Structure 1
Amino acid sequence: MSEEKGVIIVGAGLGGIRVAENLRSGGYTGPITLIGDEIHPPYDRPPLSKSVLLGKDDRVDLKPAEFFAESTIALRTGQPVVSVSPAERTVALGSGDDAQTLEYDSLVIATGLRPRTFPGAPAEGVHVIRTVDDALALRAESEFASNAVVIGAGFIGCEAAASLRTRGLAVTLVEPAPTPLAAALGAKIGDLVTRLHVANGVDVRSGVGVDAIVAHGDRVSAVRLSDGVEVPADLVVVGIGSTPVVEFLDGSGIELAARENGGGIACDEVGHTVVDDVYAVGDVANWRNPSGVPVRVEHWNHTVEQAAIVAGQILGNDADVAPAVPYFWSDQYDVKVQVLGWPRATDDVHIVDDDGKKFVAYFSRDGVLTAVAGGGKAGAVMKMRAKLLNSTPIAELL
Structure 2
Amino acid sequence: MAEPQRIVIVGSGLAGASAAGALRTSGFSGEVTLIGQEPHRPYELPPLSKGILLGDTDTPDWVHDEDFYAKHDIQVASRTEAREVLLGDRVVVDDTGTRHPFDRLLLATGSRPRMPSLPGADLAGIRTLRTLDDSLALRETLTAGTRVVIIGGGWIGCEVAAAARKHEAEVTIVERLPLPLHPILGDTVAAVFRDLHAQQGVTWKLGVGLAEFTGDGGRVTGVRLDDGTQLPADVVIVAIGAVPRVELAHAAGLELSDSVPGGGVDTDAALRTSAPGVFAAGDIAAHFHPRYERRLRVEHWANAKDQGAHVAGNLLGGAEPYTASPFFFSDQYDLGMEVRGLANPFRDDLVVRGDLAAREFIAFWLRDGAVHAAVNVNMWDDGDALQSLVDNQTKADAKQLQDADLASLAG
* TM-score (structure 1 length as normaliser): 0.93
Which digits, 9 at most, give the CA deviation of each residue in 1:48-99, with x for residues without a partner?
A: 11111122222312222211110100011110111111111011111xxx32
Residues 1:369 and 2:371 aligned together: yes
1:397 corresponds to which letter in structure 2? L
Partner in structure 1 of residue 227 of structure 2: 227
Q: Measure the CA separation in 1 of the matches of 2:135 and 2:268.
A: 34
Residue 359 of structure 1 pairs with residue 380 of structure 2: no
Deviation at 1:382, TM superposition (A): 4.1
| Residue 15 of structure 1: how far off its partner (Å) | 0.4
Q: CA deviation at 1:260?
A: 4.2
Contact 1:264 1:296 in 2 (8 A): yes
SS of 2:252's equivalent in the other structure is: coil
Confirm or deny: 8 A CA contact 1:16 1:307 kept in the other structure.
yes
Is 1:338–1:378's contact at 8 Å kept on the other side of the alignment? Answer: no
Distance in 2, Cα, partners of 1:260 & 1:271: 15
In 2, are the aligned partners of 1:122 and 1:215 still within 8 Å (CA)?
Answer: no
Tell me by how many angstroms 1:122 deviates: 4.3
The residue number in structure 2 matching 1:36 is: 36
C-alpha contact 1:262 1:286 (8 A) present in aligned 2: no
For residues 178 and 146 of structure 1, what CA distance do their matches in structure 2 show? 26
Q: Is 1:397 matched up with 2:368?
A: no
Specify the code of the residue in structure 2 equivalent to 1:367.
G
Q: CA deviation at 1:261?
A: 5.4
Displacement after TM superposition at 1:349 (Å): 2.0
Check whether the contact 2:329–2:337 (CA below 8 A) recurs between aligned residues: yes
Distance change in 2, residues 1:32/1:193 (3 Å) = same
Match of 1:199 in 2: 199
Distance change in 2, residues 1:90/1:122 (3 Å): closer
Larger mean Cα displacement after TM superposition, 11-20 or 220-229? 220-229
Deviation of 1:184 (Å): 1.9
Q: Which residue of 2 aligns with 1:299?
A: 300
- 8 Å contact kept, 2:269–2:321: no
Structure 2: where are the runs of 5+ without partners?
Answer: 403-411
* Displacement of 1:290: 0.6
Counting matched residue pairs gives 391
Identity %, equivalent residues: 37
Query: 1:322 Cα shift?
Result: 2.9
8 A contact 1:282–1:303 mirrored in 2: yes
Deviations 1:251-290 (A, max 9, x none): 3121111154551110000110011110011111111001
What amino acid sits opposite 2:367 in the alignment? Answer: R
Distance in 2 (CA, whole Å) between partners of 1:127 and 1:293 is: 35
- Contact 1:181–1:187 at 8 Å: present in 2 too? no
Equivalent in the alignment of 1:388: 390
Which residue is 2:316 aligned to? 315
Separation of aligned partners in 2, 1:197 and 1:382: 29
Structure 1 counterpart of 2:132: 132
* Match of residue 115, structure 1, among 99, 113, 123: 113
Q: What is the aligned partner in structure 2 of residue 105 from structure 1?
A: 103
Partners of 1:350 and 1:365 lie apart in 2 by 11
1:397, CA displacement in angstroms?
2.4
Unmatched runs of 5 consecutive residues or more in structure 1 = none
1:360 and 1:381 in contact (8 A); partners too: no
CA distance in structure 2 between the aligned counterparts of 1:381 and 1:208, rounded to whole angstroms: 36
Does 1:329 pair with 2:329?
yes
1:180 shift after superposition: 0.3
What is the alpha-carbon distance in structure 1 between the residues aligned to residue 393 and residue 148 of structure 2? 44
**1:216 aligns to what?**
216
Equivalent runs, 1:70-85 vs 2, <5 Å: 70-85=71-86
Letter aligned with residue 274 of structure 1: S
Q: Contact conserved, 2:127 with 2:236, CA < 8 A, in 1?
A: yes
Aligned to 1:8: 8
Partners in 2 of 1:299 and 1:131 — Cα distance? Answer: 15
User: 1-side partners of 2:321 and 2:288: how far apart?
Assistant: 13
1:331 maps to amino acid: D
Matched residues in 1 for 2:17 and 2:250: separation? 25
Q: CA deviation at 1:144?
A: 7.3
Conservation of the 8 A alpha-carbon contact between 2:148 and 2:171:
yes
Q: Secondary structure at the match of 1:162?
A: helix
The CA deviation at 1:207 is 1.2
Greater alpha carbon shift after TM alignment, 228-237 vs 322-331: 322-331
1:340 deviates by 1.1
Deviations 1:202-235, CA, capped at 9 Å, x for gaps: 1122111111121122111122222222122110
The 1:201/1:380 distance shift into structure 2, 3 A limit, reads farther
Q: Distance in 1 between matches of 2:115 and 2:109?
A: 18
Distance 1:386 1:63 in 2: 29
Query: Post-superposition shift, 1:326?
Result: 2.2
What secondary structure sits across from 1:74 in the alignment? strand
1:67 aligns with 2:68: yes
- Match in the other structure for 2:237: 237
TM-score by length of 2: 0.91
For residue 384 of structure 1, give the secondary structure of its aligned residue in structure 2.
helix
Deviation digits for residues 288-333 of structure 1, max 9, x if unmatched? 0014411111122222221222111122344x55332321101111
User: Structure 1 stretch 378-387 or stretch 28-37: which is displaced more?
Assistant: 378-387
| Equivalent residue, structure 2, for 1:280 | 280
SS at match of 2:263: coil
Partners of 1:372 and 1:381 within 8 A in 2: no
Whole-angstrom CA distance in 2 between matches of 1:284 and 1:32: 21
Cα gap change, 1:394 to 1:218, in 2 (>3 Å): farther
Q: Distance in 2 between matches of 1:166 and 1:46?
A: 18
Any conservation in 2 of the 1:83–1:250 contact (CA below 8 Å)? Answer: no
1:43 Cα shift?
Answer: 1.1
CA distance in 1, matches of 2:310, 2:122: 43
Per the TM alignment, residue 373 of structure 1 is displaced from its structure 2 partner at its CA by 0.9
Kindly provide the amino acid, as one letter, of the partner of residue 301 in structure 1.
A
- The separation in 1 between residues aligned to 2:82 and 2:57, in whole angstroms, is 29
Query: What's the RMSD between the two structures over aligned residues?
Result: 1.8
